[in-house]
Amino acid sequence: MTKIIEQFMPTLESSEVAVIDLPDGCSANLPDFTTEAYKDAYSRINAIVIEGEQEAHDNYISIGTLLPDKAEELKKLARMELKHMRGFTACGKNLGVEADMVFAKEFFSGLHGNFQKALSEGHLTTCFLIQAILIEAFAISAYHVYIRVADPFAKKITEGVVQDEYLHLNYGQEWLKANLGHCKEELMKANKENLPLIRSMLDEVSKDASTLHMDREELMEEFMIAYQDSLNEIGLDNREIARMALAAVV
Ligand code: PL3
Ligand code: FE2
Ligand code: FE2
């Protein structure tokens, strides 16, 4: 029996919880994975994820060239990204969908360009912010929302992937935390330039995401949670975090 737990407005004395039973094998509001509309949207979303995992692989390898003593560790992260990419490629195949890679390359081009520029200038803080914080938080939020509405095959794969993405987010967090004394200014500047790109990527993907029953507001909410938690872990105070988050709206 599947149980859905709904949380109502908590009162001072209690937080009421209702448990609704659904028949076995039945989950709330799953889309029909066989329709043309679903497959059409999936051809772009699946491509975005495949491209994102490939870019993540390349980015960790690139960061390793700036940090030779960490290159081996970073290669391990990169290898995980290739495994993710293969997993998501299998998800598309399983649904009979061909990923629109041309669309996905274009989708990532802004962030890709900014990462390459930072890399060529040796700006490690910017590289870590773009890859390990912004892209990983974007992936974590999207995968959490997707898991709730995915087909059973993709659900299993995505559940495995999302655990790894927390390790990646954590890796970047630790580096930024250890270097915060001298990287704060660059961090703020890089955030101002790159958070708006994540925001527009979320906007751009939201129509296709909604065809997959992924809600835009929910995506944003999950992103903001992962992003703010990680800035908090890095050691920024509430005012600094609020200032950084505001870059998404102004
Ligand atoms: C880093 O490890 C991976 C970066 C991937 C970024 C993905 C962003 C995903 C956006 C849209 C929706 C995801 C749904 C999943 C579908 C297979
Ligand atoms: Fe990944
Ligand atoms: Fe990752």
| pLDDT bracket for residue 249 (50, 70, 90) | confident
Total-model pTM: 0.89
Dump pLDDT digits (tens) for 141-187.
Answer: 999 999 999 999 999 999 999 999 999 999 999 999 999 999 999 99
What is the atom index within ligand 1 of the atom nearest the CA of 80? 2
Q: Quick one: pLDDT at residue 250?
A: 74
Q: How far apart are the first and last CA of the chain?
A: 46
Q: Quick one: pLDDT at residue 27?
A: 53
Q: Which residue, by CA, sits nearest to atom 10 of ligand 1?
A: 142
C-alpha 140/C-alpha 173 separation (Å) is 15
C-alpha 5/C-alpha 21 separation (Å) is 9
The token pair that represents 34 in the structure block: 């066989």
Cβ < 6 A, ligand 1 pocket: 45-46, 48-49, 52-53, 56, 81, 84, 88, 91, 135-136, 138-139, 142, 146, 165, 168, 205, 209
What are 196's strand-pairing partners? none
State which H helix or E strand residue 185 sits in: helix 152-211
Q: At a CB cut-off of 8 Å and minimum separation 6, what does 26 contact?
A: 2
Q: What is the CA radius of gyration of the chain?
A: 19
Q: Which residue, by CA, sits nearest to atom 2 of ligand 1?
A: 53
Dump pLDDT digits (tens) for 229-240.
Answer: 999 999 999 999
C-alpha 98/C-alpha 102 separation (Å) is 12
Q: What is the average pLDDT across 60-73?
A: 98
Type of residue numbered 236: L
The token pair that represents 173 in the structure block: 């967090």
In this model, does residue 23 exceed pLDDT 90? no
Q: Quick one: pLDDT at residue 2?
A: 39
Residue 67 C-alpha to ligand 2 middle, in angstroms? Answer: 21
Residue 15 is given by DSSP the state -
- Main-chain phi, psi angles of 213, to 5 degrees: 65, 30
All structural domains of the chain, each given as residue ranges with its CATH number in brackets, are 34-248 (1.20.1260.10)
Type of residue numbered 121: E
With beta carbons less than 8 A apart as the criterion, state whether 153 and 88 touch: no
Dump pLDDT digits (tens) for 80-92.
Answer: 999 999 999 999 9
Q: How is 71-117 classified by DSSP, letter by letter? A: HHHHHHHHHHHHHHHHHHHHHHHHHT----HHHHHHHHHHHHHHHHH
Q: Quick one: pLDDT at residue 21?
A: 46
